[in-house]
Amino acid sequence: MRQIALLYNPQKAEACSVRNDVTEQLERAGIGVIDVSVNHDTDIMASHAQVKTAELAIVLGGDGTLLGVARQLAPHRIPLLGINVGHLGFLTESEPSQLEPAIRRIVAGDYHLEERLMLEALVYRDLKEVAKFTALNDAGIGKGSFARMVTLDVHVDDVYVDTYTGDGVIISTPTGSTAYSLSCGGPIVSPHLQVMLITPVCPHTLFSRPCVIDASSVVRLTVHARHRDVALAVDGQEGVWLQEGDEVLIRQAPYDATLVRWPDREFFDVLRNKLHNDPSSGV
């Protein structure tokens, strides 16, 4: 391996400290480092075009930083290794305390690549496309800050499913099944499955339940709300305000996110330890 991109969140003091350690160890191993600071509005490729030449990207931050980087680098098929300097760090693969063995594994090629399904969300207003996003975790339509309900007609492959009235609806990937969807009663789904989840948020009925559909399906959500306090949120980081009659199409993105994974680290071990908040697990 000749060149690695090192992306870090400059707002996290620990990320800046770990960045120096990572750079030193990679350069000692003869690997070139492309240094990139990122925040919520950084256009990585516009400001650091050389990232395209990286064979791998190390991301220093929490899940939020990794999600933002994944949306930008996934189209370029650059594998991502997350080192957690955030809170939960569910998507990251290593901790700062495990930095040296992590770098040794990268240099030795002791890892495998895991493809994670992504979503594409398109917003149509008066039959015209007005916004387009990609998501690694989820795309959700919900109410804003005011306590008003949202009504959404949901179709899958042009077949009517149901009309949900409540706080909104989340469409998530298997990766996102342990995020917002889980908090709303959705199932935990193995990240290797090619499926999407439809999870109602606080539905105003006892009969609305989450469901799992094939990843090749197209979900169409039609907004019914007399107020303007309705929005589409993507990975909880990007989004757009919606209007009465807007349609949102959500489908599988044309590319996956590629994550670096250790061969001896199992999904259900991570799940158990992270969700039980066991800091001593080392997972």
Q: Count how many domains the chain has.
A: 2
Same domain, 271 and 203: no
The C-alpha atoms of residue 176 and residue 53 are separated, in whole angstroms, by 29
64 is in an annotated binding site: yes
Tokens of 31: 């690997």
* 43 among annotated binding-site residues: no
Tell whether residue 182 is among the known ligand binding residues.
yes
pLDDT at site 87: 78
Question: Could you tell me the mean pLDDT of each successive run of 10 residues in the chain, 283 residues long?
Answer: 93 89 95 92 90 96 94 97 88 93 95 98 98 98 82 98 96 97 96 98 90 98 89 97 97 98 90 69 44
Phi/psi for 136 (5° steps) reads: -95, -35
Residue 237, marked binder: yes
CATH assignment at residue 134: 2.60.200.30
Same-domain check for residues 101 and 156 = no
Note whether 100 and 174 are same-domain residues: no
**Amino acid 161: pLDDT:** 97
- How high is the pLDDT of residue 125? 97
Q: Are residues 208 and 223 in the same domain?
A: yes
DSSP the chain: --EEEEEE-TT-HHHHHHHHHHHHHHHHTT-EEEEEE--TT--HHHH-GGGGG-SEEEEEE-HHHHHHHHHHHGGGT--EEEEE-SSS-SS--B-GGGHHHHHHHHHHT--EEEEE--EEEEEEETTEEEEEEEESSEEEEEE-SS---EEEEEEETTEEEEEEEESEEEEE-TGGGGTHHHHTTPPP--TTS-EEEEEEES-SSSS---EEEETT--EEEEEE-SSS-EEEEETTTEEEE--TT-EEEEEE-SS-EEEEE-TT--HHHHHHHHHTT-GGG--
Which pLDDT belongs to residue 282?
A: 45
Q: Answer yes or no: are the C-beta atoms of 60 and 7 closer than 8 Å.
A: yes
Is residue 63 part of the annotated active site? The answer reads yes
Q: Are residues 274 and 167 in the same domain?
A: no
Check whether 228 is labelled as a binding-site residue. no
Domain span at residue 170? 119-252
The reply to whether 146 and 198 lie within a common domain is yes
Tell me if 83 sits within 8 A of 99, measured CB to CB.
yes
pLDDT of residue 278: 54
Which of the residues 41, 63, 162, 269 is marked catalytic? 63
Asked if residue 159 and residue 140 are part of one domain, the reply reads: yes
137 is in an annotated binding site: yes
Tell me: do 247 and 264 sit in the same domain: no
| pLDDT confidence of residue 147 | 66
In terms of domains, do 154 and 239 share one? yes
pTM for the model stands at 0.93
Same domain? For 19 and 108 the reply is yes
Question: Does 162 show up as a binding residue in the annotation?
Answer: no
Answer for the pair 18, 60: CB distance below 8 angstroms, yes or no: yes
Q: Quick one: pLDDT at residue 273?
A: 84
